[in-house]
Structure 1
Amino acid sequence: MKERMAVTRRPTRGMTRKPGVLSTFPLDNLVTEVHRLLGPTWALPPYNNILPSYLREPSSRLTKEDLDFLVLKGALDIPDPGFAREILKGYIRHIHPHIPFLNLELFSRAIFDDQHDSQGSISLLLYQAVMFAGAIFVDLKFLYAAGFLSRRHALETLFQRVRALYDFDVEDDNLIVIQSLLLMTYWYEDPDRHKDGRHWISVCISLACKTGLHLDHTEEPKPDHKLRNMLWWSVFTRDRLIALGLQQPPVIKDEVHSPIPMLTLENLDITTQKYAKACYGINERNLARIFLEKVKLCRCVKDDLYSWDCQPIHHNIPTIAPKPRQTSLWLSKLELDDWLQDLPETISFRPKPFLPAHNADLIFHSHCAWLKMVYLEIYSTIHRQLDFLSEKYSPSQPLSLDGPECPILRAAVEITLILQDLYQKQLIYYLPTTSVAMILRAGIIHIQEMFSGDPHVGAASFRRLSQCILALQQLGRRYGSAFFLATLLGAPKGSSVITCSPDEILAHVDIESLDKLTVSYAESSVSTILKIREPYDRDIISGLKSRKVERAGGDCGQNGSGTGSSLKCDSSPDDPFEIRDLDFADYSLK
């Protein structure tokens, strides 16, 4: 039984059922006990006048006091029709392709056409969860028109509605609760509380396993067989991507061998709903292919990808089974190489020098870019781990010394090229929350390369770092933590990064705060949901601290000033790392 929040008792309808007559407490509690055992004897007046007819009423197990409290919390407040339509558009465009479990036909008929097949066809809990998730991608003007002061204010308000409904067990169908919990994992905006996306995906997976969602029912198919399969793979991919962003092991362990068969294009419900087709255009089947490929890609994320229980081989500290770990990482790399080789050309990302003519093409382009970014992040993480375990591990050495084909540097370059393409098309805003961590890690690599001493490499790294900062600043309009991380990477206050020199950027890089994001600072005062857990990145930051101290000390010795020496940067047409419009095949990872 979930813990109920204590509230001061207020005047309510008593046994007379007349609003003007106060509760006849303590006798009125006898009525409450009867309702608790047998259910209310009336159909939730006046709440049935609040909810649209297409929404199901809350569970009959709720008491009147529970419902009163939900009204007080605003959990039964429904967005007006115009606002709800904008939210559902954002959901269809930017949430549904990532986790395509929702019955879009049912929601679209109710919200766009104001039609419904029967009374109470949509769960109140799931409806509020969709409103919360879709609002992430709604234009600010609609949020302001709805009375919200900011996007953060809107998301917090909408999320608290979903959470209140979940806490009070308003939904009896476990599959609907799982869907709602999956959407609740998009809540990341409160770093001071432990119930973030990682918490909600853990609860979601626990309920999914309890419900038997991970079991194969093909021999005795249930009526909701297709939904159960789609929902399981949506939960699986969401778990893997959250683990990738937070640098933590996934909740679903490798030993949990789900017998559910791999999805095929025929398994997916390619909707013919007119509003979905208006959003996706001719790209419906390709968006479905992106989800299928993302499932395959997420299967390359193993438990030990974020297992840092062993030291580099050359350290004098006893190692813990480095060889089996290396073998596992190499196997993951081979799987990743096979995935890239088999990726259909129709969904392979290519930078476009022109703007697609239709919004549907822009949406498709952004999803292709995101799939490529996920691949690059997994690829980079595997190589970071292999580098960390190698005998030649040297985090203080610039990666450019290994040449332009260094896997870790190449992945950071490719991510920056994707960001540049999306920035030019104003699509940065539509990247998911996990992209914030990816950009941060690419930015750290670029900062390290700015200290390489090679003016050509320094100039290219400066341009890439500037692109990462611009991307984080744009994402900050949706995800508050991105603004903060942009300042750590050197975003100057009161001026544009575009007009800054490399020296000015380096002077603003907050190495101390980056260091406090590492797990070595358990009680860090830095408020953000992101932590730098990977030893590879932590060692780079430690090296940057030393270099910054040496650089400042060298200047003090020369001119008595600690402002920092001038960073030599030169732009050359022969620069192998320069960001320019190139065929993406030139940067394909082998």
Structure 2
Amino acid sequence: MSADNLLDFFKFAETSSVPQPVPCAEDTPKPRQPRNKTAKRASKACRSCRARKVRCDFVYTGAPCTNCKLDRVDCIIPDRIGNKAGNGFTKPKPLEAAEPNGEHNNGRGDIDGLTGQPRNARSRLYQYACGLAAGVIVAGTTEQEPRQPPTSDWYKSPSQSSRPSRPSLGESIVDLAAVPGFIKPPLNCISATDLAYLTSQGALQIPSTQLREELLNAFIEHVYPFLPLVNVHELASTVASGDASTGQLSLTLFQALMLAGTAFVDGEYLLSAGYSSRSEATKEFVEKVRLLCKYDFDSDKIVTIQSLLLMAYCTSGAMYKDNWRWIDMAISTAYSINLHYDPMTIDTGPGSDSAASKRLRKRLWWCVFMLAQQVTLSVHIPCKAPNDGATVPVLSEDDFEIAMLPPTVRWPGDEHSLLRDTNKQRLLAVMCVNMCKLSACFENILGLQYQTSNHGWDADDPNKRSYLIPRGEDVDQHKMKWQEDELEAMLTQLPHEAQNPARSAVDDAVDVHISLFHMFFCTVLSILYAPQMFPRNPGGAGASSSSSSDSSSSSTTTTNTSSSSSTSTSTNPTTTTPLAPGPTSSPGEKILNFRTISAQAACAITTVAQRLVVHGLIPLLPSTSVSYIVVAGFTHVSGLQSPSYEVRAPCLHQLRQCLKLLESLRENNAGAQSAISFLEAATRRLGMFAQ
């Protein structure tokens, strides 16, 4: 497989740049002043010009501005939140019960025709991938009804009687005069006109008691474990009280929490609330949060970051192009309040100096960092939030709230819910810590194996973005070995309960999060070795492959080589001797070994996801899981170029499984359709689609 094919993968998820706002019409020029004339500042400036303190002509020319055109850099406009062009929303099919796929894949075969195992840390990673793909446990180290809340009437406005009704939602929406007491009132700076507009757009509408409790419970069970951006016990106590006795919650954050729950709540609750599909509910809550952020309904920057992260985490499909925009805004806001500094060493301001507030700031920064890496993997655009300069230490178990919810607090669910089970809280906290470490490792691997390229950049087209391309053979092998050792050490430090991603007797939510970690781990493995599989020097790679074939001719091998260097690069010899790259290994042997580990990692991703399908847990996967399956599918597609049928057959079988998995994810993740189209297009180019 050529480097151009690999390049297509990184250009798979194209995102549109920040939309060009229409240049605002300035007032008629004022008469020239005879003296003491000072240059008027531009009404708007891009981020690059603002940082360099130079005049920006974005208002007159649109994005990109002249300075960014000449410098060939991204022209990022720090526009007000929510000024986007259209929603681009497509309504999917109505909610249906997820039908488990009973097919269990064991037909991976020997993808590269290689047997045996590499040595050292790479050997451990290879054994790990093989164990997951074969379903083998990896050895480790160890093991009453809700009360109706009182109401307040601060939402009443003169235009309330003319507010458009929402008959499709029926009784699921509480009247605006009956807002729960735990919701903070609007700021005094919010004008009556803005408040009336937000009311008319439905941004102030609150779901019914039953729906909001189920949505919050879905957030706590399925989003909070890997995105711990709130004090969850304080949140539950505040909502359960129904009044302001235990504190108040920002309406912006509340609507964002509702949005996060729409992706995981039982579809029956959404259907009974009047929504025709899960996507319709997601679209409505995204619009609510966007409007509240746009009109600065809450002045707390922490709330703004939390809301932006939840929007980036929960949107997919036609709205998925906005994910990077929400992340970029969250990063900018985080830096503006010094969130990237260790909260234990700086003054966080009045009201934020408590231990709980400092722990929240620490977790929130790592949520920004982790989600930025996930979005980078999805859209293949260089991360805009490098960890350089940040002094926040890595998370530890002490940074999480591990306590049982008091029995006096009424909360939906039984004694096995997350808030009432400290063992589950502790296990998921450890998994979140490992997810932080893996995200940091992923960032290092991107910097080691890939570089930013402006290939194809068009200064007149703002939609052309920089993207990542592999460095090829220019990688420092010592740094690569260090990354392998770091990944291997991470495996040995996993708790015993998290060693096997197969379904356990703990809990569905726990099983899904453990599976997500292993899928991301295998994705990082594939990304680590992918550039080495397809070196950028085809002639050298072809020669190496030929020499490798000649050296193994004495054993029982079947080698098919081509005189063309490009064909030699994509050839997978079949041998019975393990090829472990070491100080004496030839480049061809290293390529074969990289293909082996990457292929086994791709098989492991497919197998772990299939287990979730068999047990009916596929609807609980977030939108980030689509990227993992795409990486696995791309690896299987690369194996289809082998001239050996014994190599192509299992790759084709695995590719079918990836397509079936993406089909299963289409209901809850609209972005899966784009992934299906990408893999189908890749197989068409190889003439394999009919098979």
Answer whether TM exceeds 0.5 for this pair: yes
| 2:87 counterpart residue number | none
Q: Specify the alignment match of 1:104 in structure 2.
A: 232
Q: Given the alignment, which residue of 247, 257, 279 partners 2:389?
A: 257
CA distance in 2, matches of 1:460, 1:321: 27
Aligned to 1:361: 507
Deviation, 1:351, is 2.6
The answer to whether the aligner puts 1:382 opposite 2:528 as a matched pair is yes
Higher relative contact order (CA 8 A, sep 6+): 2
CA contact 1:143–1:151 (8 Å) conserved in 2: yes
Shift of 1:69: 0.7
Q: 1:32 matched to which residue of 2? A: none
1:103-145 per-position Cα deviation (integer Å, ceiling 9, x unaligned): 2223323444535525x61010000000001111112111111
Query: Does 1:128 find its partner at 2:247?
Result: no
Distance between the aligned counterparts of 2:286 and 2:277, measured in 1?
14
CA distance, structure 2, for counterparts of residue 430 and residue 190 of structure 1: 17
Indicate which of 429, 434, 437 corresponds to 1:288.
429
CA contact (8 A) 2:640 2:647 kept: yes
Is 1:168 aligned to 2:295, yes or no?
Answer: yes
Deviation (angstroms), 1:488: 5.2
Mapped contact 1:398–1:448 kept (Cα < 8 A):
no
Q: Structure 1 residues 245, 321: CA separation in 2 closer, same or farther (over 3 Å shift)?
A: closer
Give the Å deviation of 1:330. 4.3
User: Which residue pairs with 1:437 in the alignment?
Assistant: 627
Separation (CA, whole Å) in 2 of partners of 1:111 and 1:50: 15
Question: 2:656 maps to which residue?
Answer: 466
Residue 338 and residue 160 in structure 1: after superposition, are their counterparts in 2 closer, same or farther (change >3 A)? Answer: same
Structure 1 residue 334 displacement after superposition? 3.2
Asked whether the 8 Å contact 2:640–2:652 carries over to 1, the reply is: yes
Give, in whole Å, the separation in 2 of the partners of 1:475 and 1:67: 38
Give the alignment partner of residue 516 of structure 2, picking from 370, 385, 400. Answer: 370
Change (3 A) 1:443 1:213: same
**Distance between the aligned counterparts of 1:400 and 1:187, measured in 2?**
43
Deviations 1:268-327 (A, max 9, x none): 21132265863234322110000011111111122525425499xxxxxxx989635665
Q: 1:4 to 1:215 in 2, by over 3 A?
A: closer
Task: Report which stretch shifted further, 180-189 or 291-300.
Answer: 180-189
Give per-residue Cα distances to partners, 1:132-179, cap 9 Å, x unaligned: 011111121111111111111110001100000000001111111111
CA distance in 1 between partners of 2:656 and 2:82 (Å): 48
2:495 paired residue number:
344
Whether 2:358 is the aligned partner of 1:225: answer: yes
Aligned position for 2:127: none
Residue aligned with 1:278, SS: coil
* Matches for 1:300-449 after TM superposition, within 5 Å: 300=441, 301-302=443-444, 303-304=446-447, 305-309=449-453, 323=474, 328-352=479-503, 356-357=504-505, 361-389=507-535, 391-392=540-541, 397=570, 401=574, 402=592, 406-449=596-639
What 5-or-longer segments of structure 1 have no aligned partner?
6-16, 23-45, 312-318, 490-509, 515-540, 552-562, 568-590
Aligned equivalents of 1:406, 1:110: Cα separation in 2: 52
Deviation (angstroms), 1:65: 0.6
C-alpha change, 1:150 and 1:21, in structure 2 (3 Å) is closer
Cα distance per residue 1:255-278 (max 9 Å; x no partner): x23212222212221132265863
Whether 1:86 and 2:214 are equivalent positions in the alignment is yes
Paired amino acid for 2:663: Q
Cα distance, 1:399–1:161 mapped onto 2, change above 3 Å: farther
Residue of structure 2 equivalent to 1:268:
400
The AA in structure 2 aligned to 1:278 is: H
Residues 471-526 of structure 1, C-alpha deviations (whole Å, 9 max, x = no match): 1111111011213533554xxxxxxxxxxxxxxxxxxxx32xx5xxxxxxxxxxxx
Is the contact between residue 404 and residue 410 of structure 1 (CA under 8 Å) also seen in structure 2? Answer: no
Letter in structure 2 aligned against 1:57? P
2:255–2:289 CA contact under 8 A, matched in 1 = yes
Distance 1:292 1:259 in 2: 17
Deviation at 1:463, TM superposition (A): 3.0
Indicate which of 142, 148, 159 corresponds to 2:275. Answer: 148
Q: Which residue of 2 aligns with 1:483?
A: 673
Counterpart Cα distance in 2 of 1:406 and 1:163:
46
Compared with structure 1, are the counterparts of its residues 230 and 139 closer, same or farther at alpha carbon in structure 2 (3 Å cutoff)?
Answer: same
- Look up the SS of the partner of 2:511 in the other structure: helix
Shift of 1:462: 3.4
Are the counterparts in 1 of residues 227 and 367 from structure 2 also a CA contact under 8 Å?
yes
Taking structure 1 as reference, are residues 426 and 260 closer, same or farther at Cα in structure 2, changes over 3 Å only?
same
Which stretch has the larger CA shift, 424-433 or 273-282?
273-282
Q: Given that residues 101 and 230 in structure 1 are in contact (C-alpha distance below 8 angstroms), is that contact kept between their aligned partners in structure 2?
A: yes
Map of 1:570 onto structure 2: none
- Total equivalences in the alignment: 453
- 1:54 and 2:192 matched: no
**Which secondary structure does the structure 2 equivalent of 1:422 belong to?**
helix
The 1:289/1:20 distance shift into structure 2, 3 A limit, reads: closer
Answering whether residue 316 of structure 2 is matched by residue 199 of structure 1, we say no
CA RMSD for the aligned pairs? Answer: 3.4
In structure 1, distance between residues paired with 2:191 and 2:267: 37
Q: Which residue of 2 aligns with 1:298?
A: 439
Structure 2: how far apart are the matches of 1:408 and 1:21?
62
Question: For the structure 1 residues 84 and 47, does the alpha-carbon distance in structure 2 shift closer, same or farther, using more than 3 Å as the test?
Answer: closer
Cα distance in structure 1, aligned partners of 2:82 and 2:433: 41
Question: Aligned to 1:68, which of 188, 196, 209?
Answer: 196
* Shift, 1:368, TM fit: 0.7
Q: Displacement of 1:428 after TM fit?
A: 1.6
Q: Which amino acid aligns with 2:258?
A: M
Task: Give 1:419 deviation, angstroms.
Answer: 1.4
Offset, 1:227: 1.2
Instruction: Show CA shifts across 1:59-105 (max 9, x none).
Output: 21111110011001100010101001111121011100011121222
Partner of 1:239: 372
Paired residues of 2:184 and 2:249 also in contact (CA < 8 A): yes
Corresponding residue of 1:525: none
SS in 1 for 2:313: coil
Contact 1:247 1:306 in 2 (8 A): no
TM-score by length of 1: 0.69
Does the CA contact (< 8 Å) of 2:216 and 2:257 recur in 1? yes
Gaps of 5+ in 2: 1-78, 84-156, 163-173, 348-352, 456-469, 543-565, 575-591
Q: 1:218 to 1:447 in 2, by over 3 A?
A: closer
Separation (CA, whole Å) in 2 of partners of 1:480 and 1:174? 30
Deviation at 1:193, TM superposition (A): 8.1
* Identity in percent: 26
Tell me, what secondary structure is at the counterpart of 1:307? strand
Helix, strand or coil: the match of 2:341?
coil
Q: 1:329 to 1:193 in 2, by over 3 A?
A: same
Q: Take 1:456 and 1:83, find their aligned partners in 2: how far apart are those partners?
A: 53
1:37 alignment counterpart: none
Distance 1:49 1:333, change over 3 A: same
Shift in Å, 1:183: 0.7
The answer as to whether partners of 2:523 and 2:631 remain within 8 angstroms in 1 is: no
Equivalence map 1:483-502=2 (5 Å):
483-486=673-676, 489=679
Pair 261,278 (structure 1): closer, same or farther in 2 beyond 3 Å: same
Deviates most, 374-383 or 467-476: 467-476
Structure 1 range deviating more: 203-212 or 464-473: 464-473
Is the Cα contact below 8 Å between 1:450 and 1:457 reproduced in 2?
yes
Question: Aligned-pair distance for 1:451?
Answer: 5.2
**Counterpart Cα distance in 2 of 1:20 and 1:432:** 37
Q: Does structure 1 conserve the Cα–Cα contact (< 8 Å) formed by 2:255 and 2:285?
A: yes
CA distance in 2, matches of 1:412, 1:21: 58
